[in-house]
Amino acid sequence: MAGGAFAVDGPVIGLNSKITASVVITCIVAASSGLIFGYDIGISGGVTTMVPFLKKFFPSILRKAAEAKTNIYCVYDSQALTAFTSSLYIAGLAASLVASRLTAALGRRNTMVLGGCTFLAGAAINGGAANIAMLILGRILLGFGVGFTNQATPVYLSEVAPPKWRGAFNTGFQFFIGIGVVAANCINYGTASHSWGWRLSLGLAMAPAVIMTAGALMISDTPSSLVERGKLAQAKQSLLKARGKHADVEAELAELVKCSEVAKAANREPFLTIFERQYRPHLVMAIGIPFFQQVTGINIIAFYAPVLFQSVGFGNDSALIAAIILGLVNLGSILVSTFVVDRYGRRFLFILGGIQMFVCQVAVAGVLAATTGVSGTKHITKGYAILVLVLMCIYAAGFGWSWGPLSWLIPSEIFPMKIRTTGQSISVAVNFGTTFVLSQTFLTMLCHFKYGTFLFYAGWIASMTVFVALFLPETKGIPLDSMFAVWERHWYWGRFVKEQVRSQGNSH
């Protein structure tokens, strides 16, 4: 009964599907969409510490920094400065709400191309900005670009990758985000001493946009997306590329067609369908997972790493080097996740990473409280500043093999075909919405909460680790079309799914 009710929900990709060269190349190219998001995360924090940039756009911050007894936590507290960073995320939020329809209508690949082109335009405007209005306009276009690619790419990867290795392939997106962050921090370090360095840093965002857009133009769309849009011949070719030229793909293609027909026959607005009782667990995860990812504080630390390290006693160059080190540690830990996520599962990494991040945030708060004083007017010694960096690196490693890649993976793999793009759209919108609020308030929070800011994030990390332990079932190695069984067996979510199965059975 249960299988009959749900087996038509998604594409069947056999558990024994092999990894072909085509799948590997295609997934690497698709995952490179993460470059633009990562580059932007890394570049904005470094640029906002460059004196020529501040002198041109935010001179009040330089005046505040020159004051003799400035609270170290409050130097960069400027709503105009945070608007420069956070405007991208409110634009990304708006883009993600329309991206589900675009992804369904245009396909996953074409949405990635559109995102790359939009990001390219935003990077060009930012590089040539003459005033704050141009800066914000460029950031908004960057936001639209990131909104489109963050919507389409994780879904693309989950639909193309074999179930047994879906976690590893999907972490590629986060890995490229990490590469983008490190590249941006290195560029900031190289350009910081030049009067035009900020222009080069912002303008070079065009490079990852060109790379990912050109790459996306060379790959085919996912079989699921092509079937969904009635392109059956292309869908068969895409399947043959993914499974190997001599593979028998007829059964898989037939199942994809069946899934698509059932979804269309329902003829329901996806944004209404997703609120049905049987999809309650999916909706909760689509909201909860990206929200929790952001309240770890990782993106805030990534945005403002140079600012943060300057605040706790590093010089400008040292602060940029510290940000590079932090990015490299995060990048290495994502590789760890790639190799273990399909062996040990999602839950194990979520819980382990959560504990690690919690301990580090509490320790950072303790070090800052002991060394800077309650008022924050004492200057931290170099030794303690290095200790803060070490703790931040351990924290970044915990994020890199848990909440970083897995927060993109889980929403992309749990939804049935008919609401998959809608679910991913909600997930990305929550991610951007939370990031916007946090990035807009972080520097003010740092100024008023001081070291307590890190305790604030530690509290959230503790809460989300408990949430995962209680409510997130294990999804490793399960084909997308069989994901219903995961919820059906769960101690809490089973009541929502099983009641729907019974009602469907009675109606027949």
Whole-number Å distance between alpha carbons of 444 and 356: 26
Which of the four pLDDT bands, split at 50, 70 and 90, describes residue 250? confident
Q: Say what the pLDDT of residue 202 is.
A: 95
Which of the four pLDDT bands, split at 50, 70 and 90, describes residue 450? confident
Estimate to the nearest angstrom the gap between the alpha carbon of 471 and the chain centroid.
21
On whether the CB atoms of residues 100 and 270 are closer than 8 A, the answer is: yes
Q: Say what the pLDDT of residue 5 is.
A: 34
On whether the CB atoms of residues 290 and 407 are closer than 8 A, the answer is: yes
How much is the mean pLDDT over the chain?
Answer: 84
Which of the four pLDDT bands, split at 50, 70 and 90, describes residue 3? very low
Alpha helices by DSSP H, listed for 248-315, are: 250-266, 270-273, 280-295, 298-311
DSSP secondary structure code for residue 245 in this structure: T
Whole-number Å distance between alpha carbons of 471 and 95: 29
On whether the CB atoms of residues 220 and 227 are closer than 8 A, the answer is: no
Instruction: Give the tokens for residue 295.
Output: 């309240």
Question: Which element (helix H / strand E) includes 473?
Answer: none
Whole-number Å distance between alpha carbons of 241 and 236: 9
Region for 313 from its dihedrals, namely left if φ exceeds 0, alpha if ψ lies in -120 to 50, beta otherwise = left
Instruction: Compute the CA torsion angle 168, 172, 178, 183 (nearest 10 deg).
Output: 140
- Residue 264 pLDDT > 80: no
Q: Say what the pLDDT of residue 275 is.
A: 92
Q: Say what the pLDDT of residue 371 is.
A: 82
Q: Which one of 203-207, 319-323, 438-442 scores highest in mean pLDDT?
A: 203-207
On whether the CB atoms of residues 11 and 259 are closer than 8 A, the answer is: yes
Which of the four pLDDT bands, split at 50, 70 and 90, describes residue 164? confident
Q: Which domains does the chain have, with CATH numbers?
A: 21-219+268-500 (1.20.1250.20)
On whether the CB atoms of residues 226 and 235 are closer than 8 A, the answer is: yes
- The pLDDT tens digits of the residues spanning 6-19 come to 333 444 444 446 77
Whole-number Å distance between alpha carbons of 83 and 89: 10
Q: Give the 3-state secondary structure of residue 483.
A: coil
Whole-number Å distance between alpha carbons of 369 and 451: 6
- The pLDDT tens digits of the residues spanning 51-81 come to 899 899 888 877 776 664 556 667 666 677 7
Region for 345 from its dihedrals, namely left if φ exceeds 0, alpha if ψ lies in -120 to 50, beta otherwise = left
Which residue type occupies 347? R
Which residue, 329, 305, 451, is CA-closest to 380? 451
On whether the CB atoms of residues 158 and 393 are closer than 8 A, the answer is: no
Whole-number Å distance between alpha carbons of 469 and 478: 19
- Residue 123 pLDDT > 90: yes
Q: Angle between the 316-344 and 346-372 helix axes, to the nearest 10 degrees?
A: 150
pLDDT average, residue stretch 252-261: 82
